């Protein structure tokens, strides 16, 4: 199995923490978030990994060099961006990596949802794209009908929140339009009748690390034993 981690963003809402450290390398109880994500993927059976870099890329490249030495059986490929391309731009830039179904995960989330489960659900459904969604007050902007994502809007009790995890097929990557960000790109695909599918799940820990407040909350949650990534037998 293969997975791609989105790591290029500036992390502007996290300043001053990200003034000198890229968001994926911010430490959680002494370990970089990116290390937590990659080690979770490996424990779940992912052996071919990719990531994109732009902001403070030298620091992530240095991290990758050390990580490769510590995990010699893992293939880890890096895609440098000439400028910040946005989520969909990053996927198009790394199109050569997506030769088979691939898990895509944001590099700024802490979750104990087992990514292998999402990957297996994708294979069972034979969907071009499967997005993991849940309910999170303030973020319920995804509109789902009959298991398909049919649109995006304002936060709503009827909506769902995208977790930052999805599995995409090579065919889906090939169809991505010339948009930077996920929502406008997916809206254009939906308008063409190409619908992402949704896996709605409950009962797992999830926290985005997008602001100083949520970063500190994730630290505290880990101290309490919450959000500990799941191992291979889970």
Q: Which of 25-29, 103-107, 205-209, 223-227 has the lowest mean pLDDT?
A: 223-227
Closest to 109 (Cα-Cα) out of 218, 222, 19: 218
Q: Which of 86-90, 139-143, 198-202, 222-226 has the lowest mean pLDDT?
A: 222-226
Q: What's the pLDDT at 230?
A: 52
Q: What's the pLDDT at 126?
A: 86
pLDDT for 151-171, tens place per residue? 999 999 999 999 999 999 999
2-223 carries CATH number 3.40.1350.10: no
Cα distances (Å, whole numbers) of residue 205 to 40, 127, 171, 202, 210: 14, 25, 31, 9, 16
Residue 139 has pLDDT above 80, yes or no: yes
Q: What's the pLDDT at 229?
A: 62
Q: What's the pLDDT at 45?
A: 94
For the chain, the 3-state helix, strand and coil shares in percent, each to the nearest 5, are 35, 25, 40
Give the model's confidence band at 17: pLDDT under 50 very low, under 70 low, under 90 confident, else very high: confident
Q: What is the rounded average pLDDT for all residues in the chain? A: 93
pTM of the predicted protein model: 0.94
Place of tokens 């602001």: 211
Residue 34 has pLDDT above 60, yes or no: yes
Give the model's confidence band at 207: pLDDT under 50 very low, under 70 low, under 90 confident, else very high: very high
Give the 3-state secondary structure of residue 216: helix
> What whole-number distance in Å separates Cα of residue 36 and Cα of residue 25?
10
């Amino acid at each position: 199995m293969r997975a791609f981690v989105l790591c290029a963003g500036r992390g502007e809402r996290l300043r001053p923490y990200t003034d000198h450290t890229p968001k994926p390398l911010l430490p959680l109880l002494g370990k970089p978030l990116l290390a937590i994500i990659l080690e979770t993927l490996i424990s779940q059976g992912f052996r071919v990994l990719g990531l994109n870099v732009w902001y403070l890329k030298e620091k992530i490249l240095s991290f990758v060099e050390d990580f490769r030495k510590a995990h010699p059986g893992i293939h880890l490929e890096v895609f440098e961006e000439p400028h910040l391309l946005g989520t969909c731009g990053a996927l198009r830039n790394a199109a050569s990596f997506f030769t088979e179904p691939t898990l895509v995960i944001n590099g700024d989330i802490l979750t104990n949802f087992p990514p292998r489960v999402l990957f297996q659900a994708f294979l069972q459904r034979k969907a071009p794209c499967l997005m993991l969604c849940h309910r999170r007050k303030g973020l319920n902007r995804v509109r789902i009908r009959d298991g398909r994502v049919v649109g995006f809007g304002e936060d709503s009790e009827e909506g769902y929140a995208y977790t930052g995890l999805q599995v995409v097929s090579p065919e889906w990557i090939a169809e991505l339009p010339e948009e930077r960000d996920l929502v406008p790109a997916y809206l254009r695909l939906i308008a063409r009748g190409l619908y992402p599918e949704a896996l709605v799940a409950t009962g797992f820990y999830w926290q985005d690390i997008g602001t100083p407040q949520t970063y500190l909350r994730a630290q505290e949650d880990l101290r309490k034993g919450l959000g500990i990534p799941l191992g291979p037998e889970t």
